[in-house]
Chain A
Amino acid sequence: MTSPNRVVRIVALVLRIALGAIFIYAAWTKLRTPWELFAMSIDSYELLPLRAVEFVARTLPWFELAVGLLLIAGVFLRSAAVATTLLLGVFFGLMIRAYAKGMQINCGCFGPGEIISWKTLLRDGSMLAGALALTSLSFLARRRAV
């Protein structure tokens, strides 16, 4: 019979590998093309001034890559899980806002060419739920260890 602890560990492992792979893929789709393409996707949300857009476009893919690698390696797991949750929370919030305003814009999630729709919201919402679960599990595991 499988113990509850073992189930929790397996769920956490699956979540961090899945989220890590998604983050690495998201970073790769942005880093393989000129940064200006991602900048245009960010700019289409009409939130940040141009200098901030450029800064985010140049740095965010590297941050996503780092978070993805940490998740897969299982290093600094709690910090990586919190960073994942915060990032996905911000992305999801911005997408909800754009969708509610009827903006026909690129999501910017995995490179250009993907308009925000209920499908992208469902996908990112599921990822956010997974990140929240992973964060909870990682803190729970630490409390049990103490």
Chain B
Amino acid sequence: MKQLALALLVTLPAVAALGDIDKNKTMGNPSAPVVVEVFSDFECPACKRFHDESLPLLMRDYVMTGKVYLVYRDYPLQMHKYSRQAASYAIAAAQFGFYQPVADALFHDQTTWSASGKVWDTVAKVLTSEQQRKVQATADGPGVLNELMTDMNAAAAERVDRTPTIVVSRGEKQYPLPGGGNYTFLKQLIDDLAK
């Protein structure tokens, strides 16, 4: 019991420092020593690169092993015409537990829907008709807008001004990595923080 209380005391500041988070857009152990927040825009090519190349390694090495608590933050940039719409669908899908497949599909087909504007076609591909109905009914609602505003506020609080930005934190220590950076150094940073 004492150990549990101690573990909570150690990990609470890390999670508390995160502010409001949508639990449906997180992965891993909430009491992991290191928290990694990924501020990303579905229409941004560098975000796709991070999603395709670094994220799977981060998941394998740290999230699945319980060393990192991963928090997805949607930060659609104004310069991208359809990224807000894509974020709305992803957040709506998150409310039913489908954030990951929708996010994967959006990044996979990024060049297609960002050119055609047919965001829904990509989202629909990975959902059943029942799931599609739920997501469409939710995407334009105030709940999704609130979630989006929560992420945008978190971005403002952490002075995020571009995507992707990875914020690595342990307790009060918080390090923003604009541009995502090379996985080798991200891994080294997490290892150092986790010590």
A-side interface residues toward B, CB under 8 Å? Answer: 33-34, 36-37, 39-40, 43-44, 50, 53, 104-106, 112-113, 115
Can you name 21 A-B pairs with beta carbons within 8 Å? A34-B189, A34-B193, A36-B186, A36-B189, A36-B192, A39-B182, A39-B185, A40-B179, A40-B181, A40-B185, A40-B186, A43-B181, A43-B182, A43-B185, A44-B179, A53-B185, A104-B179, A106-B178, A106-B179, A112-B177, A112-B178
B185 to chain A: which residues have CB within 8 Å? 36, 39-40, 43, 53
Contacts of A40 in B (CB 8 A): 177, 179, 181-182, 185-186
Q: Tell me if B129 is interfacial: C-beta within 8 Å of chain A.
A: no
B176 at the interface (CB under 8 A from A): yes
Cβ of B159 and Cβ of A37 under 8 Å apart? no
Of the candidates B161, B162, B184, B189, the one whose C-beta lies within 8 Å of that of A37 is B189
- Residues on A with C-beta less than 8 A from B179 are 40, 44, 104-106
A115-B182 contact in complex given A33-B175, A36-B188, A40-B177, C-beta closer than 8 Å: no
Interface residues of B in 152-168 (CB under 8 A from A): 159, 161-162
Contact present for B159 and A113 (CB under 8 Å): yes
Known: A43-B185, A113-B159, A115-B162. A34 touches B192 (CB 8 A): yes
Minimal Cβ-Cβ distance residue in B for A39:
B185
A101 vs chain B, min Cβ distance (A): 15
Q: Which residues of A contact B177 (CB under 8 A)?
A: 37, 40, 112
Please, how many angstroms separate the alpha-carbon atoms of A106 and B182 in the complex? Answer: 13
Residues from chain A with a CB closer than 8 A to the CB of B193 are 34
Q: A36, A37, A113 — which one has the most chain B CB atoms within 10 A of its CB?
A: A36
CB distance from B46 to the nearest CB of A (A): 9
Bound Cα distance A50, B173 (Å): 25
Chain A residues, CB < 8 A from B159: 113
